[in-house]
Amino acid sequence: MKYSLLLLVLSFSFYTSSMFGQSHSSHTTDSTMMTHQTNTASSGEHNVTEGHEMPADAHAKGAAAHDAHGAHAPFDPASTAIHHISDANVYTILDGIGFRIPLPTFLYAPEKGWDIFSSGKFHVGDHEDGHASYNGYVMHHGSVHRVVDQGFPMEGSVDIEGFTHKQEEKKGKKVDINYALYQGKEYRLDARSTLDGGILGGGITSFYDFSVSKNVLSMILVSLFLFWIFRKAAQAYKANPDKAPTGVQSFIEPMFTFIRDEVAIPFIGKEKYMKFLPLLMSIFFFVLGLNLFGQIPFLGGTNVTGNLTVTMIMALIVFFVVNVNGKKDYWQHIFWMPNVPVFVKPLLAAVEIMGLFIKPLTLMLRLAGNISAGHIAILSFIGLIFIFGNSGASLGGGAIGTAMAIPLTLFMMAIELIVAFVQAFVFTILTASYIGAAIEEHHHADHHAEGHH
């Protein structure tokens, strides 16, 4: 089996994950540490200034929260769920025991140049907050930020006291701004640049993040595993061509045969399906592998296929493959529909042109939405333990929450296991149907001529 398309998906996702990726939620579960203020400046623009002193009471609250780190902080299920399904610059396994794998960090600031180092430099603690800065960068909720206020040490490593959170008005909307605490002063932070046009709250900032994130590492691991398992199956077929499949072969062959016989051949055609079979198989097993990998709780519960970056790149690959291979009849049905009144053709053309872009959009949103919804539902059920237990203050309430959370979580995980296969199949079968429609030849002239005899 060919792996070129699988590697293409991986490479595109690697280079765009930081540019188009979803930003972490600015809200934090440690609400006692946050100071909420509102700046109603109409411009919303920020000029680089010196770090400013915190009010004495706010500094005392922040320091106390930093020491206890939310021992009995109010539990926020929404922000907790968003935090756990977001991408990060550190790979956390079982956040409660603090086992974290630092990842390579590649940061670029136009006025400074490149900074390449390990995310371990941030001394990441609970909730993936760093306790130290490095070369003017800090980590907050697993995402790298850059200090933009003057007076902060921009070289080497220094310990920071925590983070604060404020709201400012920008272009008529309230946006969340994070600050790092250092020696009793607040220093404004920039999030990484994102090319979302401001739709998701991002935009171009003072630096770009090209790091190997948790999602990128997950894609690399899954790709290597798929390469190994298919390589092993291929070697077994070569060594024993006349024997019934066993081991890995018996796991791979039914799925491979099903996609070939029930998806590729019916939708694309027996004469042309082989050209597109590597793409269909790469999509199916890549999505399935990532979905199943995200179901393993103690490996971090990654949400790769729930990330719009990954699904967008896959949808774009399908978009280009479909339209590059489109036949004359395909484009004729889009721009000048045959056998319909002339005055209707422009209206149909407008609808078909919109359909060109709606199809990859639905591919992107369907996969990301379904996978993210499953992760959020599981985290919400687990959150019942903390809601009923009042974040650890009530032992009896915690026991009731646990009794409710365990069966609901197990049920949802079983549903998610089914969804992992269903969503991989849906993405693949829709891709096959789009390709089949693009390469089909209708022969309208022949049918029209036959109608006169």
3-state SS of the chain? CCCHHHHHHHHHHHHHHHHHCCCCCCCCCCHHHCCCCEECCCCCCCCCCECEECCHHHHHHHHHHHHHCCCCCCCCHHHHHHHHHCCCCEEEECHHHCEEEECEEEEEECCCEEEEEEHHHHCECHHHCECEEECCEEEECCEEEEECCECCCCCCEEECCEEEEEEEEECCEEEEEEEEEECCEEEEEECCCCCCCCCCCCCCCCCEECCCCHHHHHHHHHHHHHHHHHHHHHHHHHHCCCCCCCCHHHHHHHHHHHHHHHHHHHHHCCCCHHHHHHHHHHHHHHHHHHHHHCCCHHHCCCCCCCCHHHHHHHHHHHHHHHHHCCCHHHHHHHHCCCCCCHHHHHHHHHHHHHHHHHHHHHHHHHHHHHHHHHHHHHHHHHHHHHHHCHHHCCHHHHHHHHHHHHHHHHHHHHHHHHHHHHHHHHHHHHHHHHHHHHHCCCCHHHHHHHCCC
- Pick the range with the lowest mean pLDDT from 163-177, 211-225, 332-346: 163-177
Identify whether residues 105 and 223 lie together within a single domain: no
My answer on whether 359 and 303 are in the same domain is yes
Most confident of 6-10, 78-82, 230-234, 248-252: 230-234
| 276, part of any domain | yes
Q: What tokens were used for 99?
A: 């086992």
Does residue 205 form part of some domain? no
Q: Residue 202 domain-assigned?
A: no
Rounded Cα distance between 145 and 77, Å, is 24
Residues 179 and 238 in one domain: no
* pLDDT value of residue 75: 61
pTM above 0.85, yes or no: no
Query: Is the pLDDT score of 80 beyond 50?
Result: yes
| Same domain for 237 and 308 | yes
> What pLDDT score was predicted for residue 315?
95
Average pLDDT over residues 94-111: 83
- Flag whether 73 is in a domain: yes
* 85 or 164: which leads in pLDDT: 164
For 192-235, the pLDDT digits (tens) are: 988 765 556 667 888 999 999 999 999 999 999 999 999 998 88
98: containing domain:
26-79+94-191
Same-domain status, 181 and 243: no
The reply to whether 307 and 171 lie within a common domain is no
The one-letter code for the residue type at 58 is A
% the chain with pLDDT above 90 = 38
The predicted-structure confidence for 392-436, as pLDDT tens digits, reads as follows 566 777 788 788 888 888 888 889 899 999 999 999 999 999 999
Structural domain count, the chain: 2
- CA torsion sign for 83, 89, 94, 98 is negative
Residues 250 and 353 in one domain: yes
pLDDT of residue 28: 37
**pLDDT range class, residue 166, cuts 50, 70, 90:** confident
Which of 135, 156, 191 is the endpoint of a domain? 191
pLDDT higher than 70, residue 143: yes
Last residue of a domain, one of 191, 226, 247: 191
Say how far apart CA 364 and CA 20 lie, in whole Å: 13
Mark whether 110 and 33 lie in a shared domain: yes
- pLDDT the model gives residue 101: 87
User: Based on the domain organization, do 186 and 221 belong to the same domain?
Assistant: no
Dihedral angle, C-alpha 145, 150, 156, 161, nearest 10 °: -60
Q: Does 273 map to a domain?
A: yes
Q: Do residues 340 and 381 both lie within one domain? A: yes
The share of the chain scoring above pLDDT 70, in percent, equals 75
Residue 21 in domain: no
Q: Is residue 4 part of a domain?
A: no
pLDDT of residue 394: 67
38 inside domain: yes
For residues 221 and 184, state if they share a domain: no
Residues 284 and 401 in one domain: yes
In this predicted structure, what is the pLDDT of residue 34? 38
